[in-house]
């Protein structure tokens, strides 16, 4: 393999998650859509998980799968470990700075920006960190990677279930009072990397191991059947774990990135990956070309969509049908809803928003093909 290969099932997986992100961004919190679509958030200390809560962890899982392909490609070209690490660091810096740009877009309307915004974590910053950690550990023996995954999950379990802080004798499932928040408040940026980042890195490395089982020609159908069984077992284990009594129990929580949440999304990721591989790559039952195109241009779509979302749709103000001040997204839904059934209007807006990004990806794909043909 002389070039980094494109695997249709992985691009499709990435496209599904990007499309899901667009959908939940636009539909979450809208009363015309089921409540389970949006983020469950802190949920008054009860935690929980909604459809929107699986988007980010699946991004992390896919980042791990892509990291395995990148390292394998680099190894096939004879690149040294040091060169691979240098490339991983450059990728980390680029993604991290892209995340900082999006953070500026979110905060620049409300507060003066300073250099300290570089120390604030967001989605791309965490993806950059987990990708770097995973690529480094992909250069180590498999037993060490598996050990680090188990250690990270156990660390999150201890931190969130057993570790106490200050005057508190038990863990508190609130955003203001918990051991993880106490550590972050004391140690800042580095604490996030080794609290939230530890769990995210474990999930990313699991994604890499799943990709190895699915895409490596050395692994046959038996390995893939075992992965399918492992995915089902992981989902069942995570659900059972979330129902166990405290402190053994670990609620499903994206905000805390609990151990049960990591295990659940590892199972979901494994099941989706193996299913898409069988449907697209192995049996070639369907092509899913729009999703594949969306997945191939995921970063460009994500950056553009988030800038549009954070600046235009959620910050620009418009006048509603009743002349009240609304965000652009709410105003578009309200004006369309004044002409037709509000539920239908909401579905039309959300559908158009998602389709617009498929068109954006399709245009980029056509331009890329045209450039390659000219070359």
pLDDT in tens, 247-257: 788 889 888 89
pLDDT in tens, 44-93: 556 788 899 999 999 999 999 999 999 999 999 999 999 999 999 999 99
Q: Kindly write down the DSSP assignment for every residue of 36-71, as one continuous string.
A: GGS--TTGGGT----GGGGHHHHHHHHHHHHHHHHH
For the chain, give the mean pLDDT.
90
Q: Is the pLDDT of residue 296 over 60?
A: yes
Give the mean model confidence (pLDDT) for residues 29-50: 79
With 0-12 CB in 10 A as exposed, 13-18 as middle and 19+ as buried, what is 332?
buried
Top pLDDT among 4 and 115 is at 115
Residue 3 has a pLDDT of: 45
Helix/strand/coil for 266: helix
Please check whether residue 127 is in contact with residue 97, taking contact to mean a CB–CB distance below 8 angstroms: no
pLDDT in tens, 196-230: 999 999 999 999 999 999 999 888 888 999 999 99
Top pLDDT among 250 and 155 is at 155
Give the mean model confidence (pLDDT) for residues 98-109: 90
Residue 84 Cα to chain centre, angstroms = 24
* CA 296 – CA 291 distance, rounded (Å): 9
Burial 275-288 (b: 16+ CB within 10 A, else e): ebbbbbeeeeeeeb
pLDDT in tens, 126-138: 999 999 999 999 9
Q: Which residues contact 150 (CB under 8 A, 6 or more apart)?
A: none
Express as a percent the part of the chain with pLDDT over 70: 94
Nearest Cα to 313, choosing from 337, 330, 333? 330
Residue 1 has a pLDDT of: 35
Please tell me the least confidently modeled range out of 100-109, 225-234, 271-280: 100-109
Q: Is the pLDDT of residue 179 over 90?
A: no
Alpha helix stretches (DSSP H) within the chain: 8-27, 55-76, 81-107, 123-137, 142-161, 179-187, 189-194, 196-215, 221-243, 259-276, 289-296, 298-307, 314-315, 328-337, 342-374
Please tell me the least confidently modeled range out of 1-15, 206-220, 291-305: 1-15
Neighbouring C-alpha atoms within 13 Å toward the C-beta of 31 = 4
Q: How far apart are the first and last CA of the chain?
A: 21
Q: Is the pLDDT of residue 140 over 70?
A: yes
CB atoms near residue 135 (< 10 Å): 27
Residue 285 has a pLDDT of: 84
pTM for this entry: 0.94
Give the mean model confidence (pLDDT) for residues 174-179: 72
**What DSSP state is assigned to residue 168?**
B
Residue 234 has a pLDDT of: 98
Q: Kindly write down the DSSP assignment for every residue of 277-331, as one continuous string.
A: IIIIIIS-----HHHHHHHHTHHHHHHHHHHIIIIIIHHSEEE-TTS-EEEHHHH
Q: Is the pLDDT of residue 102 over 60?
A: yes
Residue 42 has a pLDDT of: 59
Prior bond to 105 cis, omega within 30? no
């Amino acid at each position: 393999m002389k070039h980094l290969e494109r695997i249709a099932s992985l691009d499709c997986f990435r496209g599904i998650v990007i499309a899901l992100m667009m959908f939940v961004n636009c539909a979450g919190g809208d009363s015309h859509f089921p409540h389970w679509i949006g983020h469950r958030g802190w949920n008054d200390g009860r935690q929980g998980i909604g459809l929107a809560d699986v988007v980010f962890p699946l991004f992390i899982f896919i980042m791990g799968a892509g990291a395995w392909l990148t390292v394998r490609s680099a190894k096939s070209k004879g690149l040294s470990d040091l060169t691979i690490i240098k490339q991983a660091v450059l990728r980390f810096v680029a993604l991290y700075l892209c995340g900082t740009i999006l953070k500026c877009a979110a905060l620049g309307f409300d507060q003066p920006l300073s250099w300290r915004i570089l120390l604030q974590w967001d989605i791309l910053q965490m993806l950059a960190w987990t990708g770097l950690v995973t690529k480094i550990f992909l250069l180590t023996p498999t037993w060490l990677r598996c050990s680090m995954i188990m250690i990270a999950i156990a660390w999150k379990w201890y931190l969130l279930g057993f570790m106490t802080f200050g005057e508190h004798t038990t863990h508190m499932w609130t955003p203001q009072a918990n051991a993880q928040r106490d550590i972050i408040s004391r140690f800042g940026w580095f604490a996030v990397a080794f609290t939230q980042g530890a769990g995210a890195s474990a999930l990313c490395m699991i994604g890499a191991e799943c990709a190895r089982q699915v895409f490596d020609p050395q692994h046959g159908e038996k390995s893939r059947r075992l992965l399918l069984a492992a995915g089902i077992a992981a989902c069942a284990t995570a659900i059972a774990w979330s129902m166990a009594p405290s402190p053994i129990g670990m609620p499903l929580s994206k905000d805390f990135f609990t151990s049960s949440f990591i295990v659940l999304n590892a199972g979901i990721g494994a099941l989706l990956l193996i299913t898409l591989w069988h449907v697209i790559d192995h049996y070639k039952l369907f092509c899913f070309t729009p999703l594949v195109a969306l997945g191939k241009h995921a970063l460009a779509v994500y950056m553009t969509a988030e800038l549009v979302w954070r600046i235009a749709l959620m910050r620009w103000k418009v006048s509603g049908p009743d002349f009240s001040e609304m965000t652009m997204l709410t105003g578009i839904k309200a004006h369309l809803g004044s002409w037709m059934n509000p539920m239908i209007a909401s579905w039309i807006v959300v559908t158009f928003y998602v389709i617009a990004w498929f068109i954006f990806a399709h245009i980029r794909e056509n331009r890329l093909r045209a450039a390659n043909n000219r070359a």
